[in-house]
Structure 1
Amino acid sequence: MTTFKQITDFDQSRDAHGQQARVGDTRAAAETFRAAMLAGPKARYFRSFDLIKVPYPSRFGLRNAFSREKWVGFMHIQNRLFVVQFDTPDGVKTLLVSPSDHERGGETPFFRRLQDKNPDFLTKLITQRQSTVPEIIASIGLKPEDIDYITYDHLHTQDVRRWLGTDQEPALFPNAKLLVHWREWESALDLNPYQADWYCPNGIAGIRDDRIIKFDGSIMLGDGVALVHTPGHTEGNHSIVVHTDEGLWVTSENGVSVDSYAPQLSTASGVATYAKTIGTEVIINGNTLENSIDQYISMVQEKTIAGPSLRDQRFPNVFPSSEMTPFWAFPGTSSAFYVGEARHGALYLPASVGRIQ
């Protein structure tokens, strides 16, 4: 059985009675963790791939900060797949981060209603499908059986049955296991109506227990890769941290843009003014508002771990799993800093040792 190393830097970092004290304690813990991770080895491979652009309500993505919300009700968010490889005592492991099955994820109640009330031509115009997970895996030379793990920062809109299999269908990735915080898993099994609107119906139904690895707190998976518990957007939200030639990439959906982590520099309409007016250092992605206080702390935690971007030192090295993307139909939703893509290292192909992509 695979054993991951527990990360203890953040134990008790949110225990202070004062809310800003919790922010300060978590920031300090994040600085300690960042230094340790940078002193350690890098991941073997990290690469992003575009999957699909979907509309997302601006009132959620830029919570209370977007000044054109009355006229521009949506933004585009770019969903991506990240392929990550890292060394472990058991050999090289391949991890898929955010492998969204968008062909099934459209049944998420919120998006199902959006599709049903709009004509097909409009849905196709504002929903732009670019690729699928199987297509991407095949394009870089990996085989389905090469995938060891899949993970999502949280399970909103996700249907993982095709990847992991059920009693009714075989697994597309026969060796893969889902890495999920136990709180996220338990929440997904027992949703209240506000949460259920954002979870794909039956998205985890029928998956065998031996295909799931539920972890607690934060863990190191292997060389240069960590899953850090960052609650708020959901109770079990976690961030994926990967050590690369470009520093520490931190990925989650706590924020929908790098601007969300440096809002006083944002070019999205009204965001910089809003941030300066209330003195906030982050803008939360708030569609469910499970715990906005914890989410605020988590975003500070994420940007502290990330540190400054080598592309523009004014911004943190955060790579949102769903990134706000300019679109002509949604004016005012362009960001000051757009990550777009990243690629580091050489891909190891387990089936044919020595080949690289």
Structure 2
Amino acid sequence: MTHFLPIRHFEDTRKAPGQQSRVEDTRSAAKAFRHAMLAGPKAHYFQSFDLVTVPYPTRYGLRNAFSRERFVEFLHLRNRMFVVQFVTPEGIKTLLVSPSDHERGIETPFFRRLADHTPAALTKFIVKRHATVPEVLERIGLRPEDVDYITYDHLHTQDVRRWLGSDEEDAYFPNAKLLVHRQEWESAQDLNPYQADWYCPSGVAGVPASRVHCFEGSIQLGDGVALVHTPGHTEGNHSIVVHTDEGLWVTSENGVSVDAYAPLLSTAAGVADYARAVGTEVIINGNTLENAVDQYISMVQEKTIAGPSARDPRFPNLFPSSEMTPFWAFPGTRPAFYVGQAHHGTLHRAGAAAAGAVEGDRRSTAGQG
């Protein structure tokens, strides 16, 4: 049976009557949690892999802040998967973060309408498919049966049936469980029309209950890896925190760019001016707006946990799971800071020789896309 340690730091931090008081209470708790994570061990392995780059409306990704919205309707989002391994009392476990089945995700109603109204030639120009999840795993030498867990910060656009199995198909990952906040799982079963526009139809239908582990609050999975409840974008949204050689990487889609967490430094058109005028310290990714107040708090929580980037300490150590990516056809959307890639630690392959199979030397590399 799966047992994860509860994280208590954030209990009751959003109970103050005043909204800014909730921000500061959460910020204080995030500082304490960051200290605790950094005092503990690091994850065994962490690496990012590009899956697909797609257009996304600027009016959502840079909510109210982008000054060229009338002329530049879209920005480019590069969706990534992260392969994470961590030590537990039961041995090394393998977690896939955001293993998006983008071949099926196109059926999400919003993106289905966008695809249906976009000429095929233009689609080939603005959509770039980098790799599928199976292709990534084959490339690094992981077998489907090696995967213990999969997780997504929330279930927008996700279809997990291929990975976990359903009434109509066998599971590609025979041993994996979905780690999902209970509120996110319950919401996905009972959506209102505005939310349903962003969830893949039947994306979780028929998935066996035995393949789903719902958790409450925030949890520690093992050495150097935690799932922290960060509601707002959806009620059950959570962020993935991984302790690496570059500090604490924090991953979610609350913000579509590191710029969104340091908007006064942003080079995206109008964002710094907007942040200065409004006095905001973050720019939310606001396609569904389930609770913008909580999302604001959650982004402050995330950047406080992350701390300063080792690559440029002016920016927090955020790694958006879908990152705003420079594209010449969408002028004004180039971010001031672009994470690109990260690779830390050694990949453990189950059943390898006694010496242990590794993927390259222990290293920390970074690339710009």
* C-alpha distance in 2 between matches for 1:178 and 1:218: 15
Deviation at 1:329, TM superposition (A): 1.0
* C-alpha distance in 1 between matches for 2:210 and 2:80: 27
Which residues in structure 2 correspond to 1:137-286 (within 5 Å)? 137-286=137-286
Alignment-derived partner of residue 349 in structure 1: 349
Q: Secondary structure at the match of 2:142?
A: coil
Alignment-derived partner of residue 294 in structure 1: 294
Alignment-derived partner of residue 76 in structure 1: 76
Superposed CA deviations along residues 9-31 of structure 1, whole A, max 9, x for unmatched, are: 00000110000000000000000
> Is 1:93–2:93 an aligned residue pair?
yes
Q: Secondary structure at the match of 1:24?
A: helix
* C-alpha distance in 2 between matches for 1:122 and 1:84: 35
Q: Secondary structure at the match of 1:243?
A: strand
Alignment-derived partner of residue 311 in structure 2: 311
Structure 2: gaps spanning 5 or more residues:
360-369
Alignment-derived partner of residue 59 in structure 2: 59
Q: Secondary structure at the match of 2:303?
A: helix
Deviation at 1:351, TM superposition (A): 2.3
Alignment-derived partner of residue 21 in structure 1: 21
* C-alpha distance in 2 between matches for 1:348 and 1:142: 9
Structure 2 residue identity aligned to 1:120: A
Q: Secondary structure at the match of 2:250?
A: strand
Structure 2 residue identity aligned to 1:188: A
> Is 1:2–2:2 an aligned residue pair?
yes
* C-alpha distance in 1 between matches for 2:3 and 2:234: 25
* C-alpha distance in 2 between matches for 1:164 and 1:300: 33
Q: Secondary structure at the match of 1:123?
A: helix
Superposed CA deviations along residues 321-353 of structure 1, whole A, max 9, x for unmatched, are: 100001111000000000000000000001214
* C-alpha distance in 1 between matches for 2:308 and 2:13: 22
Structure 2 residue identity aligned to 1:329: A
* C-alpha distance in 2 between matches for 1:322 and 1:36: 27
> Taking structure 2 as the reference length, what is the TM-score of the superposition?
0.96
Alignment-derived partner of residue 38 in structure 2: 38
Deviation at 1:175, TM superposition (A): 0.2
Deviation at 1:6, TM superposition (A): 0.1
Q: Secondary structure at the match of 1:186?
A: helix
Superposed CA deviations along residues 266-320 of structure 1, whole A, max 9, x for unmatched, are: 0000000000001000000000000000000000000000000000000000000
Q: Secondary structure at the match of 2:60?
A: helix
Alignment-derived partner of residue 364 in structure 2: none
* C-alpha distance in 2 between matches for 1:328 and 1:121: 17
Structure 2 residue identity aligned to 1:356: V
Structure 2 residue identity aligned to 1:219: I
Structure 1 residue identity aligned to 2:358: I
Structure 2 residue identity aligned to 1:177: K
Deviation at 1:167, TM superposition (A): 1.9
Runs of 4+ in structure 1 over 3 Å off = none
Superposed CA deviations along residues 221-251 of structure 1, whole A, max 9, x for unmatched, are: 0000000000000000000000000000000
- Identity over the aligned pairs, expressed in percent? 74
Deviation at 1:68, TM superposition (A): 0.2
> Taking structure 1 as the reference length, what is the TM-score of the superposition?
1.00
Alignment-derived partner of residue 114 in structure 2: 114
* C-alpha distance in 1 between matches for 2:239 and 2:223: 16
Deviation at 1:118, TM superposition (A): 1.1
* C-alpha distance in 1 between matches for 2:298 and 2:84: 23
Deviation at 1:35, TM superposition (A): 0.1
Structure 2 residue identity aligned to 1:45: Y
Q: Secondary structure at the match of 1:352?
A: coil
Q: Secondary structure at the match of 1:298?
A: helix
* C-alpha distance in 2 between matches for 1:352 and 1:165: 27
* C-alpha distance in 2 between matches for 1:7 and 1:283: 27
- May I ask how many residue pairs the two structures share in their alignment? 357
Deviation at 1:168, TM superposition (A): 1.1
* C-alpha distance in 1 between matches for 2:351 and 2:103: 28
* C-alpha distance in 2 between matches for 1:195 and 1:123: 25
Superposed CA deviations along residues 157-179 of structure 1, whole A, max 9, x for unmatched, are: 00000000012111000000000
